[in-house]
Amino acid sequence: MTACITGWAHSKFGKHEDETVESLIVGVASQAMEHAGVEPQDVDEIVLGHFNAGFSRQDFTASLVLQADDRLRFKPATRVENACATGSAAIHQGMNSIKAGKARNVLVVGVEQMTKTPGPEIGENLKKASYLPEDGDIPAGFAGVFGQIAHAYFQRHGDQSDALAMLAAKNHKNGVGNPYAQMRKDLGYEFCRNESEKNPFVAGPLKRTDCSLVSDGAAAIMLTDLETAMHAPRAVMFRAAEHVQDFLPMSKRDILLFEGCEEGWKRAFKSAGVALDDLSFVETHDCFTIAELIEYEAMGLAKRGEGGALAMSGETAKDGRLPVNPSGGLKAKGHPIGATGVSMHALTAMQLCGEAGDIQVDGATLGGIFNMGGAAVANYVSIMERVR
């Protein structure tokens, strides 16, 4: 591969009433340049991942990154979007520029501010990541879409309520150690398993603890070509970076298979020349607990229909055979749409450089990432390794 991450920055995710999309962008952009040791005048291109879909009145946001430093003026800056995988889409655009020889240093920023939007509008905005002719009238917004997926999975493979609660509890336990996470509280299995006033059913068999958090936040990384990265203080290389796009209508595919996710992992393993067992950890897209469960099967960690048994086994805990979401995932960290993919890559780089603090996986050498847009529509898989 031709690109490395040489620096990063990450805001705390959560409700930021005193922040704006602009201030969130400026904060992480400045910090990422400083962390990478790249002066603004040496940035060749800027890519911003910002989903928006009605969350922000300011809808022309690429140039807001220039507010971080006047020396960024006249740099090429583009906003990209691919639903909940918007951050990874921005990273891929930056990597393509490096691969084409058009840039040596690309600043990639992901951002979203969701909490200033009224609750009913949040649901409608998120539903725009589904196929509206078929899914537009599903109650409970995007949670309703995954509620239907969970119900169908239960019909085919049996009730998985215990497994979903175990996944939620695992990720919330992991999130306690993540200083960037929105919810740093170990909720425990019993709370996640049982319906209560604080944990009501939201859609189908999904309870509140099965759903990722509405959040504000931003993250940024500096992408650098391999030759230049060899002189940087740190460099985390992409062994693989794959993008697989699937049909938008769920009616055109077996939604319980997440075939785009499966294909993305197959291509990534082939490109990187590694196997699943070679990975030290995985950050995967747990927008809902049922998504993480199905992703276990799609990545080959469990056989079809056995993702729940794997979740119950403890093998994906932080001290398990393959830790999944040591950061706490979207469940604990929060899910500011445009920032999520960049966050996953920044946190993976931290792990591989041994700079992940209380969420550090001991001896991590190879990290996998799966970032998903829509219901397994936009599928991005990265495999990363530290080279410096």
pLDDT cut 70: percent of the chain above it? 100
Whether 1 shows a pLDDT value over 90: the answer reads no
Return the pLDDT at 373: 98
Name 4's bridge partners.
224, 237
Mean pLDDT of 130-148: 95
Render pLDDT for 56-88 as a digit per residue (tens, 0 to 9): 999 999 999 999 999 999 999 999 999 999 999
Share of the chain above pLDDT 90, in %: 98
pLDDT on residue 76: 98
What average pLDDT does range 240-263 have in this prediction? 98
At 80, is the secondary structure helix, strand, or coil?
Answer: strand
pLDDT score recorded for residue 2: 85
Interhelix angle 289-298/141-157, rounded to 10 degrees, is: 50
Q: Does position 387 have pLDDT exceeding 80, yes or no?
A: yes
CATH number for the domain running over 3-117+214-229 = 3.40.47.10
pLDDT at 72: 98
CA distance 185 to 195: 18
> How many angstroms separate the CA atoms of 22 and 56, rounded?
10
pLDDT value of position 286: 98
- For the record, the structure tokens of 58 come out as 């300011």
pLDDT tens track for 330-383:
999 999 999 999 999 999 999 999 999 999 999 999 999 999 999 999 999 999
What are the residue ranges spanned by the domains of the chain? Answer: 3-117+214-229
Q: In terms of DSSP bridges, do strands 201-203 and 206-207 run parallel, antiparallel, or are they unpaired?
A: antiparallel
Query: How many other CB atoms are there within 10 angstroms of residue 1's CB atom?
Result: 18
pLDDT, position 44: 98
pTM for this entry = 0.98
**pLDDT (average), residues 125-132:** 95
Confidence band of 17 (pLDDT split at 50, 70, 90): very high
Instruction: Identify the pLDDT of residue 184.
Output: 98
At residue 28, does pLDDT exceed 90?
yes
What is the C-alpha to C-alpha distance for residues 346 and 152, in angstroms, rounded to an integer?
A: 34
pLDDT band at 252 (very low <50, low <70, confident <90, very high): very high
Any bridge partners for residue 109, and if so which?
Answer: 48, 220
pLDDT tens-digit series, residues 142-178: 999 999 999 999 999 999 999 999 999 999 999 999 9
Instruction: Give the separation between CA 23 and CA 369, rounded to whole angstroms.
Output: 27
d(CA 68, CA 84): 25
The DSSP letter of residue 14 is: B
Closest Cα to residue 62, out of 39, 84, 86? Answer: 86
The residues assigned a catalytic role are 84, 335
Mean pLDDT of the chain: 97
pLDDT tens digits, residue range 193-217?
Answer: 999 999 999 999 999 999 999 999 9
Q: What is the amino acid identity at position 10?
A: H
pLDDT, position 82: 98
